[in-house]
């Protein structure tokens, strides 16, 4: 049986190679993939360079500000910039649509800003020629073009009878044809795999890339392509003609790649909508009214805090404190305010996670969704990464404010207009983004990877079983 | 002409008995319905948000006016300029203005860039007002990446595929089923027969399309009768765009390829126009017409702010030299321990930094415009890009509209700032009439760049060229088509 | 009605048809006999202008088919070996569609009469063609010829694959048509059918018309003997 399959595969491959259509299509896609990889790499290098340069400038601006009250400096604030992971070369994900800088100031957690898409014309919405685009859209279409007539052609040319008479079983034929498509796909996939591997080794020290991530990323794409090969063999074995086989496969492709993402996005958005910015802020303001605010000495929360501090230092009044109470109050207020922000941003995040649940279930209808989520996740260009970055920025903002406010508490006692200078500014620690660990990312995407695997297995069984029912015309 | 009628009826019968044709038309109609519904819900939500923002400003102003009244009648007293209703400080910090982009009558056609921008902006005088620094939206970027389902998407992306899938094999199916020789033995040239068949399909799809579009617009409350011109424009665009794809199908049918090859060629052309050309243009823009990151602008602002702060006294002198009417003898305005004085100082500092930053920021915006114009010029290369551009233009949701709105917003901010600062800096007491007559923003439609005219003209050129090519090929190929 | 003058068709070095001179008058049934590749179908395709001659001329009603492809097709009807119609339409609707292509308008009753005249069972007329046998489709083919008022009928192996009864019916139909003055040119392998239906018989081999004679003047046995001798050369 194995010999027979190998024999058929060899025959099919020879036919593919002699066919101008296959050669042209494979070549075009190969060139497009290489071109997109090269251009993406250049884009990554440019973005990284800009990131480094601007990060340096942010720090220079921070350190070179004039002498002022540290809390005023906190109000003026500073910026943190979102780094770009080298795997973004493969998949840009939401990168162009998410903010890449967060202003860190006093009392307020801000959303990230500078969304590349906002600066672009409508043409940008057609997408960019990235490897991710070629992998999710173009290669499946290529496979369809190569294999849609795998069985229909045998029937149209009446060669199927001959093959069966010669002793090949339908299942062997199906497996042989499957393998022939698989081998061609593997050639393209191998390019992707090599590139990711090279990227991994080249940038490994910067971002602690693990081999497991590379395997999961390229493995998911491999399974995704296999799903398409299975569907091609399945449809081709059931279709009445090559034309109808191709029509059905293209319709499946449209539904998977074009319609499903949009419809599911609308569905997720209407099931678990984000609040408007106005409502979001009103909710935060409501929670903060009752709590500590560094500038309000008179509400209940401030009175409670004052009593606590006095008790801690064992004194009767603010005047007797060895430290500047205003600074302590600011620092404590900042922590409280940040907690309120964290609570509401977490609510938003959990709303997004519910949306993601909708995407996960919908992946049972379109494996493309699952693959995109795994791909963006591992490339650190998904919404999860954006949250991870913004949450860390917020943690840093609290530390940043605490350092400045505690400087007031420690030094401003008895001074009318306390100011600090470069020494303090330079002493504030820089923000250092900690990349999320590989195992965390992979665990977070286990469900999607299982869905892809499930798709691959079920569609394979479908393809092989339906091949038994191929009718001889 | 009873003959023609029977003939058309038979063609229609064939179509309605064609399962894939009926199925695809159903998909098209269902998607159009969902798309229109989704756009309606989406636009309504944005409209409501905008309306509530405008209302908020009105309510705040009404409260302010009421407080000024009660102050004048001696019913209330106020501690400082943060709370004093006649104070410009109070006005600036508590009563922000709002600008808004009104929705175009045909906004149902395209969400366009509407998922990236909100249709209102709070105008706040004490912030960096470079418009990239603050967003009024709370949207999942994932939603923006996948994009909203709107009529433009259905028409630009899916309609061509549905046209291609229903007409790629009109001739090749006849050949593959063996009917071609019978048809070819009739006294009619095959290309004419093919043209008739495709023209009929075109007319059915186009009329279904046009009628359902009108029905959807009507059902979702678009005022068709008040905007007959836009309606005509829409019908014209649908005619040209679907006509283009039909002509392409005609052309490929004429080549005499097999069904499979025809569909591969047509789908590849579709991928080329819908994906490859625009995505290559986007990439190319990065290579050829790249602009620096906005991060540089952010850093520049911070740098000039530091510079201003470090040299504030001299900078203030400069400011008063260019704005002599802002200078006041009132000692309150110079007293830093008084909130009026402190805030004048603060606002001036922000404003001076803004002024220094502006040339760099504007230069950057000019570069963005230039790059976008460069990218938009490549619309010529793809009918799909042209159709998208024309539709978002009609819907008033193109990038051009939003950018024009942001620019006009910025200009309004500047005008409003001049109006208010002059009064704050001289510690002017605002009267109720002055509050009522504060400058109001009005979006000027005329200033938004329009593209419908050029888009359709180029699309028409595509059709003409394609028709000529089809005519040429029909003459050349008549003989070969019969070969079975 | 059908006339070929020194008609030649070459594919590269291969002569598919050499110097064919042939004439089919109204009322004649001319049967072309010969093995596969003898040039029978080439002859028919040349009259239909499906292929262009290398030299010589094919004429229908005295008009050159190359110069006037559309005009000459008004006079001829064609039934290929395996006539395929639109399976989703009924026999009646197919007839209506094809006569429309020929720019002939007939009322409904007339079209039904034509189908009946072509001896299609009455109850089948409005059934979908997907359920028709080959013989039934051939009958629709005949009715298409009648509807366009064709003066010549070109048939390519019309009886191959028909059962003897259907085959017989078809022959009778052809006789009626020729009695109405229609010229018939038929390619066939079937000596019996040719002798029975034809008014003239031509034997072709490797693109040449070797012999032609009047069908009434030759017996089936003589025809078979003659044919086998020619083939054995």
Instruction: Return the pLDDT at B477.
Output: 65
Q: How far is C150 from chain B (nearest CA, A)?
A: 10
Q: How confident is the model at residue C148 (pLDDT cuts 50, 70, 90)?
A: confident
Q: How confident is the model at residue A1 (pLDDT cuts 50, 70, 90)?
A: low
Q: How confident is the model at residue C227 (pLDDT cuts 50, 70, 90)?
A: confident
Are the Cβ atoms of B187 and C74 closer than 8 angstroms?
A: yes
| SS3 state of residue A21 | helix
Q: What are the angstrom distances between the C-alpha of C227 and each of B472, C41, C202?
A: 48, 18, 10
Instruction: Enumerate residues 144 to 203 of chain A having a beta carbon within 8 A of any beta carbon in chain B.
Output: 145, 148-149, 156
Read off the tokens for B37.
Answer: 């519904």
Task: Give the bridge partners for C9, in sequence order.
Answer: C17
User: ∠ CA(B285), CA(A369), CA(A248), 5° rounding?
Assistant: 95
Residues C7 and C53 sit within 8 Å (Cβ to Cβ): yes
Task: Establish if A425 belongs to a structural domain.
Answer: yes
Read off the tokens for B169.
Answer: 């094999």
Torsion C152-C157-C163-C164 (CA) sign: positive
Helix (H) or strand (E) holding A400: helix A383-411
Calpha distance C184→C153 (Å, rounded): 5
Are the Cβ atoms of B309 and A68 closer than 8 angstroms?
A: yes
Express each pLDDT in C206-226 by its tens digit.
888 888 888 888 888 888 888
Sequence-distant (6+) residues with CB within 8 A of B113 are A122, A125, B392, B397, B398, B399, B401, B402
Are the Cβ atoms of B157 and A258 closer than 8 angstroms?
A: yes
Q: What ipTM was reported for this prediction? A: 0.91
Task: Report which of B172, B196, B176 is spatially closest to residue B186, judged by C-alpha positions.
Answer: B196
Are the Cβ atoms of B146 and A265 closer than 8 angstroms?
A: yes
- E strands along B28-123, which residues? 97-100, 120-123
At C184, give phi and psi (nearest 5°).
Answer: -120, 130
Long-range contacts of B300-305 (CB under 8 A, 24+ apart): B300/B357, B300/B360, B300/B361, B301/B128, B301/B130, B301/B353, B301/B357, B301/B361, B302/A58, B302/A61, B302/A79, B303/A57, B303/A61, B304/B353, B304/B356, B304/B357, B305/A76, B305/B349, B305/B350, B305/B353, B305/B357
pLDDT at C34 over 60: yes
Instruction: Return the pLDDT at A359.
Output: 95
Express each pLDDT in A418-428 by its tens digit.
999 999 999 99
Are the Cβ atoms of A113 and B135 closer than 8 angstroms?
A: yes
Task: Establish if A472 belongs to a structural domain.
Answer: no
Backbone Cα Rg of chain A: 30
Which domains occur in chain C, in start order? 2-75+151-232 (3.40.50.300), 86-149 (no CATH)
Residue C156's closest chain B neighbor by CA?
B181
Calpha distance B390→B384 (Å, rounded): 10
The chain-wide mean pLDDT, for chain C, equals 88
Q: How confident is the model at residue A395 (pLDDT cuts 50, 70, 90)?
A: very high
Task: Establish if A65 belongs to a structural domain.
Answer: yes
Distance of CA B421 to the CA centre of its chain: 34
Calpha distance B147→A269 (Å, rounded): 11
Residue B423 CB-density burial (10 A; 0-12 exposed, 13-18 middle, 19+ buried) = middle
Contacts of B179 in chain C (CB under 8 A): 84-86
C100 inside 8 A of chain B by CB: yes
Considering only the beta carbons, identify the residue of C93, C103, C144 that sits closest to B187. C103
Instruction: Return the pLDDT at B481.
Output: 58
**Number of CB atoms found within 10 A of residue B467's CB:** 14
Q: How confident is the model at residue A205 (pLDDT cuts 50, 70, 90)?
A: low
Residues B226 and A107 sit within 8 Å (Cβ to Cβ): no
Query: Residue ranges of the alpha helices (H) in chain C?
Result: 40-47, 69-73, 91-101, 108-117, 134-147, 164-179, 191-197, 220-232
The chain-wide mean pLDDT, for chain B, equals 90
What is the extent of the structural domain holding A384?
2-467
Task: Establish if A445 belongs to a structural domain.
Answer: yes
Express each pLDDT in C3-32 by its tens digit.
999 999 998 888 889 999 999 999 999 999
Are the Cβ atoms of B282 and A68 closer than 8 angstroms?
A: no
What percentage of chain B carries pLDDT values higher than 70?
96
Q: Scanning the structure block, which residue is given the tokens 């899916």?
A: B158
DSSP state for residue A325 in the 8-state scheme: H
Residues A326 and A407 sit within 8 Å (Cβ to Cβ): no
Q: How confident is the model at residue B484 (pLDDT cuts 50, 70, 90)?
A: very low
Contacts of C144 in chain B (CB under 8 A): 182
A349 inside 8 A of chain B by CB: no
Instruction: Return the pLDDT at C86.
Output: 85
pLDDT at B130 over 70: no
Overall domain count for chain A: 1
Instruction: Return the pLDDT at C164.
Output: 87
Instruction: Look at strands C183-188 and C152-156 and give their pairing.
Output: parallel
Residues C143 and C97 sit within 8 Å (Cβ to Cβ): no
Task: Report which of B334, B161, B179 is spatially closest to residue A247, judged by C-alpha positions.
Answer: B161
Of A4-18, A189-203, B26-40, B119-133, where does mean pLDDT reach its minimum?
Answer: B119-133
Residue B192's closest chain C neighbor by CA?
C101
Rounded mean pLDDT of B83-92?
A: 89
Task: Establish if A317 belongs to a structural domain.
Answer: yes
Considering only the beta carbons, identify the residue of A51, A133, A247 that sits closest to B165. A247
Q: What are the angstrom distances between the C-alpha of C168 and each of A82, B235, C135, C160, C195?
A: 87, 59, 11, 12, 13
Residue B291's closest chain A neighbor by CA?
A119
Helix (H) or strand (E) holding C3: strand C2-11
pLDDT at A442 over 90: yes
Instruction: Return the pLDDT at B398.
Output: 94
pLDDT at A406 over 90: yes
Express each pLDDT in A213-260 by its tens digit.
889 999 999 999 999 999 999 999 988 888 889 999 999 999 999 999
Instruction: Look at strands C55-60 and B97-100 and give their pairing.
Output: unpaired
Task: Report which of A80, A106, A426, A97 is spatially closest to residue B299, judged by C-alpha positions.
Answer: A80
**Number of CB atoms found within 10 A of residue A56's CB:** 11
A97 inside 8 A of chain B by CB: yes
| SS3 state of residue C44 | helix
pLDDT at B259 over 50: yes
């Amino acid at each position: 049986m194995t010999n027979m399959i190998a024999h058929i595969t060899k025959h099919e491959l020879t036919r593919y190679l002699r066919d101008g259509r296959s050669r042209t299509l494979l070549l075009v896609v190969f060139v497009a993939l290489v071109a997109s990889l090269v251009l993406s790499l250049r884009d990554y290098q440019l973005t990284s360079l800009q990131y480094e340069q601007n990060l340096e400038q942010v720090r220079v601006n921070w350190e070179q500000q004039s002498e002022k009250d540290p809390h005023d400096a906190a109000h003026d604030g500073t910026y943190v910039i979102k780094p770009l992971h080298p795997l973004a070369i493969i998949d840009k994900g939401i990168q162009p649509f998410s903010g890449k800088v967060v202003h860190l100031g006093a009392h307020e957690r801000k959303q990230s800003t500078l969304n590349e898409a906002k600066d672009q014309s409508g043409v940008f919405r057609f997408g960019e020629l990235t490897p991710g685009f070629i992998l999710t859209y173009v290669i499946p279409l290529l496979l369809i073009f190569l294999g849609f007539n795998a069985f229909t052609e045998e029937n149209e040319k009446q060669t199927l009878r001959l093959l069966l008479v010669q002793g090949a079983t339908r299942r062997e034929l199906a497996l042989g044809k499957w393998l022939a498509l698989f081998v061609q796909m593997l050639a393209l996939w191998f390019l992707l795999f090599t590139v990711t591997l090279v990227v991994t080794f080249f940038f490994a020290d910067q971002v602690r890339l693990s081999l497991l991530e590379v395997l999961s990323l390229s493995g998911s794409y491999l399974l995704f392509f296999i799903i398409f090969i299975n569907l091609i063999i399945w449809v081709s074995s059931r279709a009445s003609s090559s034309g109808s086989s191709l029509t059905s496969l293209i319709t499946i492709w449209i539904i998977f790649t074009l319609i499903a993402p949009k419809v599911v996005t609308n569905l997720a958005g209407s099931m678990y909508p984000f609040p408007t910015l106005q409502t979001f802020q009103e909710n935060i303001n409501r929670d903060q009214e009752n709590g500590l605010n560094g500038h309000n000495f008179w509400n209940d929360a401030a009175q409670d805090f004052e009593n606590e501090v006095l008790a801690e230092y064992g004194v009767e009044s603010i005047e007797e404190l060895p430290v500047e109470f205003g600074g302590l109050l600011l620092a404590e207020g900042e922590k409280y305010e940040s907690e309120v922000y964290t609570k509401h941003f977490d609510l938003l995040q959990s709303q997004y996670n519910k949306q993601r649940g909708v995407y996960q279930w919908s992946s049972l209808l379109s494996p493309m969704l699952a693959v995109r989520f795994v791909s963006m996740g591992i490339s650190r260009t998904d919404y999860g990464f954006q949250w991870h970055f913004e949450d860390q920025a917020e943690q840093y903002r609290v530390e940043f404010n605490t350092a400045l406010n505690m400087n007031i508490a420690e030094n401003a006692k008895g001074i009318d207009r306390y100011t600090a200078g470069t020494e303090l500014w330079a002493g504030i620690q820089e923000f250092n983004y900690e990349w999320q660990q590989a195992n965390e990312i992979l665990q977070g995407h286990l469900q999607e990877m299982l869905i892809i695997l499930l798709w691959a297995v079920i569609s394979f069984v479908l393809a092989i079983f339906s091949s038994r029912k191929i009718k001889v015309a | 002409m009873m003959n023609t009628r029977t003939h058309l009826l038979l063609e229609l019968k064939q179509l309605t008995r064609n399962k894939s044709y009926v199925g695809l038309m159903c998909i098209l109609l269902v998607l159009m319905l969902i798309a229109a519904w989704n756009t309606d819900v989406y636009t309504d939500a944005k409209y409501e948000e905008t309306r509530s923002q405008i209302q908020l400003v009105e309510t705040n102003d009404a409260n302010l006016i009421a407080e000024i009244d009660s102050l004048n009648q001696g019913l209330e007293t106020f501690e400082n300029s943060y709370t004093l209703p006649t104070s410009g400080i109070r006005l600036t910090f508590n009563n922000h203005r709002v600008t808004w982009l009104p929705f175009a009558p045909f906004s149902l056609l395209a969400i366009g860039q509407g998922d990236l921008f909100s249709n209102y902006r709070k105008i706040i005088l004490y912030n960096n007002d470079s418009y990239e620094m603050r967003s009024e939206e709370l949207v999942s970027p994932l939603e923006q990446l996948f994009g909203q389902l709107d009529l433009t998407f259905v028409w630009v992306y899916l309609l061509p595929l549905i046209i291609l899938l229903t007409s790629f094999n009109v001739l090749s199916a006849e050949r593959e089923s063996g009917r071609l020789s019978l048809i070819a033995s009739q006294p009619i040239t095959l290309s004419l027969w093919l043209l008739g068949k495709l023209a009929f399909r075109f007319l059915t799809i186009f009329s279904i399309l046009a009628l359902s579009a009108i029905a959807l617009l009507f059902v979702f409350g678009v005022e068709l009768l008040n905007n007959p011109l836009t309606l005509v424009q829409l019908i014209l665009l649908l005619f040209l765009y679907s006509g283009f794809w039909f002509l392409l199908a005609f052309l490929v049918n004429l080549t005499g390829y097999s069904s499979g090859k025809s569909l591969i060629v047509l789908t590849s052309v579709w991928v080329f126009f819908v994906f490859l050309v625009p995505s290559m243009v986007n990439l190319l823009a990065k290579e050829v017409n790249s602009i620096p990151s906005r991060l540089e602008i952010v850093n520049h602002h911070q740098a000039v702010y530091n510079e201003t702060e470090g040299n504030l006294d001299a900078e203030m002198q400069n400011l008063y030299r260019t704005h002599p009417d802002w200078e006041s003898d009132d000692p309150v305005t110079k007293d830093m321990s008084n909130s009026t004085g402190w805030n004048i100082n603060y606002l001036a500092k922000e404003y001076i930094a803004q002024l220094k930053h502006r040339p760099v920021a504007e230069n950057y915006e000019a570069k963005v415009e230039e790059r976008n114009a460069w990218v938009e010029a490549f619309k010529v290369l793809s009918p799909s890009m042209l159709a998208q551009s024309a539709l978002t233009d009609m819907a008033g949701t193109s990038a051009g509209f939003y950018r024009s709105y942001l620019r006009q917003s910025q200009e309004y901010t500047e005008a409003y700032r001049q109006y208010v600062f002059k009064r704050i800096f001289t510690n002017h007491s605002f009267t109720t009439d002055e509050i009522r007559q504060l400058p109001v923003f009005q979006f000027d439609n005329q200033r938004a760049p329009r593209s419908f005219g050029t888009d359709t003209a180029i699309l028409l050129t595509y059709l003409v060229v394609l028709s000529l090519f089809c005519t040429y090929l029909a003459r050349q190929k008549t003989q070969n088509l019969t070969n079975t | 009605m059908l006339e070929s003058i020194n008609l030649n068709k070459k594919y590269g070095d291969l002569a598919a048809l050499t110097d064919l001179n042939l004439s089919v008058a109204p009322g004649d049934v001319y049967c072309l006999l010969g093995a596969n590749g003898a040039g029978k179908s080439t002859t028919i395709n040349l009259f239909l202008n499906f292929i262009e001659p290398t030299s010589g001329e094919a004429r229908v009603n005295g008009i050159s088919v190359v110069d006037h492809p559309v005009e000459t097709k008004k006079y001829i009807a064609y039934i290929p070996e395996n006539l395929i119609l639109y399976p989703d339409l009924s026999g009646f609707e197919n007839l209506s569609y094809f006569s429309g292509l020929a720019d002939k308008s007939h009322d409904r009753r007339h079209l039904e009469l034509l189908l009946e005249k072509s001896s299609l069972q009455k109850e089948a007329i409005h059934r979908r063609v997907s359920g028709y046998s080959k013989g039934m489709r051939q009958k629709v083919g005949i009715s298409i010829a009648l509807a366009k008022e064709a003066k010549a009928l070109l048939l390519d192996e019309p009886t191959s694959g028909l059962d003897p009864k259907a085959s017989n019916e078809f022959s009778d139909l052809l006789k009626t048509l020729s009695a109405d003055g229609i010229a018939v040119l038929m390619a066939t392998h079937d000596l019996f059918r040719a002798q029975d239906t034809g008014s003239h018989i031509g034997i072709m081999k490797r693109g040449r018309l070797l012999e032609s004679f009047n069908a009434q003047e030759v017996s089936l046995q003589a025809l078979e003997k003659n044919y086998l001798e020619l083939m054995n050369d």
